[in-house]
Structure 1
Amino acid sequence: MKQRNTARLLTGRIYVGLVLFFLYAPILVMALMSFNASEFYAFPLSFTLGWYAKLANNAEIVSSAWRSLWIAIATTIIAASLGTAASLALFRYEFPGKRILQALLFPPIAIPWLIVGTAMLIFFFWVGIGRGTPAVILGHVALALPYVIVVVSARLQTFDRQLEEAARSLGASQWEVTRYVTLPWIASGVVAGALFAFAVSFDQFVVSYFLAEPGDATLPVIIYTAIRKGFTPEINAISTIIIVISMAVMLGASRFFKFGGER
């Protein structure tokens, strides 16, 4: 029995190791190539920071990165605010069509973004918004909102309603109950939903490609265009920077808000 458990444990570790290798090996190779002096990835590896220096002087990539960043921040703030408010409303109140509304949150996640992007382009021209940064932000918010609502609603399922009732019985207003009782409890869910919203927006290619005006492309669109014209290690450099910053933010947030729970 002990040998069987040992074999299962070893098999499990090997499986997890293979999964992690499959996920992170391409990222590690890309990061290494961003420090390789050869434009054609020749070996042995010759260390250089030249591609990062060229990246700093590439105005198109840098401006598109900043554009993607502030659009993602705006999307995160709007989606997190609206999504949290919607989750609280769905949690606290019963109203006709509530189950249908909850079910309608999932199709935008499942529908291919190519179809969603086409539909948004037609709709925004129909209502007179057209293409541009406002349309891009609205499109990103529409895509990110379901993720926020799902994550925050899942966190609310662990919330004890009696805590709100106790606060009201002590004279707290609805706003005070939300601010001092409910929001601290669901803070980790709100942060997790906001991180999802940021990732969806910053990484979004299809909707940004359809809705952005010429000359105002986001970073994913610039990367796609650069790959079609001819790949350059500068793309490896900007991708490595984004991955390092993203992982640092994710690890910091998960540690601070204890996404994995306390041991």
Structure 2
Amino acid sequence: MTTSPVTTTGSRFLWVFAALLALAGAALVAVALLGGAGRDGGDMVGVRPGDEVSIGEGGMSVWAREPDTREATVCTLGDVDLLRPVEEHATTVAGTAFYEVARTPDGMPGGAHQISCDTQDAVYAGPYGPSVSTPGLAGGTGLMLGIILLALALLCLVLAWLAGLRQPTEVPEQGPDPGDYTLRPGMPMAAGPPPGRAAAPPPPSHTEPGTAGPRPAPEAPPDGPRYDLPPPS
């Protein structure tokens, strides 16, 4: 039998690669979901430039519904510039995802302060980011990356299935037919000697020289007394 080893190896590689991607994606999704479990997102209050917000002892953060708002937004409380997180922090309130835009620096005095953010996006005053958000792979980044890996695993599974369908069927190798050398049931034997072999001489017959036919076989002696012999003297 003949098969295609290249096609078979490629199909097996896709199956293994898909399994690894699925495991990694499922692990990232589980870490992201468990990392955000048990954290209270707190209350989010929509604010506009010039609104006053109250700062508690634990500080506060400014939040938005779009993750890109953080990259180009500067917020101030009075005369103090708020800090911009260097990585994404996200939390969920009532099923809605919020992304941290800015946070108060350490030592920020409490009390009421006017807030201002130079963005057209809606922003919200809420709890201090590090106390409620899950950064990195334990948060929104890990969840998004896990979903991407699961999608790639599904794609590899489809490709592996298609590669298996395109594998050539096994074709028997061409060779001499064994029936040419064996006698099949019900097949009459061919007359004459096999090819390449001389015919055997006929068996000898009992023929007398000068006669036209074979010599008859001798008769068996008669049973009983002999009457053709002279009597004894």
Fold in common (TM above 0.5): no
More strand by share: 2
Larger Rg: 2
Normalising to structure 1: TM-score of the pair?
Answer: 0.22
